[in-house]
């Protein structure tokens, strides 16, 4: 059995509190009755009042509360076991989040276009494992290798140019960090999908790609932007206030550097694709993945659990319904049996 929401188990502490309140209320009533007069005389004034039913009602309330709490906890019972085998490859997405990716020569912007492309690539994956790296002047890990695509998309959408303080575009750092995501001892195929406008402000990208090739990595580069280029808007609350300027106070025009991205891909026998056409990118990635050998990288036992909360809620509401019609007066046929010594 598995408990879906264990945090609600703390509500079970309410049950002893209800019992204490009941006992205190009983004590308070007896005390007031003694102050009013003789207890036997008071009983004779209300001969139809049951001394058993208040306790019975308390038990019903406690069982109903317990049922409601267990319904919130949602116990699950496994109905079958099955072996799940996954065959796929390991894929790391390296996302360029430098300020040049804010250029809007590609609508809505280079960065948003990159997010859309990666999200749609993830949508067409099967059992592949994925990870995410972000880079600008330096690279840093965003999401380790995982099969949880929904989490990957959540991290993807949160990425922005403010995540890294050092600006520029360091493609070599992105490749080196991405290489650490892959297990050297694993025979699983390794693919790096690098998304960038290709403006590399560091040296060594070619060397990093060649080293990645020695480690069995293949790199696909996706170029985002136009060769004509575009300016970098600086916005506040969605409104353009100015444009990025260089040290000479000239407006910066950032252009797609296709050559550098093609050279990186070629060094690993990978490929380059222009990211301006999303459909073309998706077709290219799908075609490439179909040609890459898949490896069985996970085999696990999984239980198919079914929720049981409805039974507990049904019992709880049934007991509450019963309590609503259960009066604190004697029931005639129970009174005749005198099961609880309610008559002298």
Which domain, by its residues, includes 34? 2-74+308-337
Listed range (43-47, 80-84, 324-328) with the worst mean pLDDT: 43-47
24 and 134 fall within a common domain: no
pLDDT digits (tens, 9 = 90+) for 259-315: 999 999 999 999 999 999 999 999 999 999 998 888 876 655 555 667 777 888 888
Domain CATH number, residue 261: 3.40.50.410
pLDDT digits (tens, 9 = 90+) for 122-141: 999 988 999 999 998 889 89
**Do the domain assignments include residue 342?**
no
- In the chain, the percentage of residues whose pLDDT exceeds 70 is 82
98 and 216 fall within a common domain: yes
Question: For residue 227, is pLDDT > 60?
Answer: yes
Please compute the mean of the pLDDT values over residues 253-263 and round it to a whole number.
91
Question: For residue 71, is pLDDT > 90?
Answer: no
**Residue-level pLDDT at 49:** 59
**Residue-level pLDDT at 116:** 95
318 and 199 fall within a common domain: no
**Do the domain assignments include residue 250?**
yes
In whole angstroms, give the CA distance from residue 35 to residue 108.
81
**Do the domain assignments include residue 273?**
yes
Question: For residue 333, is pLDDT > 50?
Answer: no
**Residue-level pLDDT at 43:** 59
Output the 3-class SS for 310-321: HHHHHHHHHHHH
Q: What percent of the residues of the chain are helix, what percent strand, and what percent coil, each to the nearest 5?
A: 45, 25, 30
Domain count, the chain: 2
**Residue-level pLDDT at 10:** 85
Mean of the per-residue pLDDT values for the chain? 83
User: Do residues 103 and 109 make contact, with C-beta atoms less than 8 angstroms apart?
Assistant: yes
pLDDT digits (tens, 9 = 90+) for 3-22: 777 888 888 898 899 889 98
């Amino acid at each position: 059995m598995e408990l879906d929401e264990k945090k609600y188990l703390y509500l079970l502490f309410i049950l002893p509190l209800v019992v204490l309140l009941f006992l205190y209320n009983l004590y308070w009533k007896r005390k007031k009755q003694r102050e009013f007069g003789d207890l036997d005389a008071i009983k004779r004034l209300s001969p139809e009042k049951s001394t058993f039913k208040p306790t019975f009602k308390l038990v019903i309330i406690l069982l109903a509360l317990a049922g409601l709490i267990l319904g919130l906890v949602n116990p699950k019972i496994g109905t079958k076991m099955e072996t799940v085998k996954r065959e796929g490859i390991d894929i790391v997405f390296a996302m360029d989040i430098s300020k040049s990716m804010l250029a809007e020569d590609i609508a809505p912007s280079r960065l948003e276009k990159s997010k859309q492309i990666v999200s749609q690539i993830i949508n067409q994956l099967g059992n592949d494992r994925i990870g995410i790296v972000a880079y600008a002047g330096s690279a840093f890990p965003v999401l380790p290798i995982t099969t949880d695509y929904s989490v990957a998309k959540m991290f993807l959408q949160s990425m922005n140019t403010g995540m890294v303080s050092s600006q520029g575009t360091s493609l070599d750092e992105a490749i080196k960090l991405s290489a650490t995501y892959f297990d050297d001892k694993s025979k699983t195929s390794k693919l790096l999908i690098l998304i960038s406008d290709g403006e590399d402000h560091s040296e060594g990208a070619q060397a990093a790609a060649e080293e990645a090739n020695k480690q069995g990595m293949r790199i696909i580069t996706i170029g985002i932007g136009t060769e004509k280029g575009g300016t970098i808007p600086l916005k506040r609350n969605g409104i353009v206030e100015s444009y990025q300027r260089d040290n000479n106070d000239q407006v910066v025009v950032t252009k797609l550097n296709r050559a550098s991205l093609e050279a990186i891909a070629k060094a690993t026998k990978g490929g380059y694709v222009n990211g301006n056409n999303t459909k073309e990118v998706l077709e290219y990635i799908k075609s490439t993945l179909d040609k890459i050998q898949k490896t069985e990288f996970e085999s696990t036992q999984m239980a198919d659990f079914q929720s049981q909360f409805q039974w507990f809620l049904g019992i709880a509401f049934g007991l509450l319904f019963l309590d609503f019609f259960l009066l604190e007066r004697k029931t005639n046929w129970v009174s005749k049996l005198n099961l609880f010594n309610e008559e002298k």
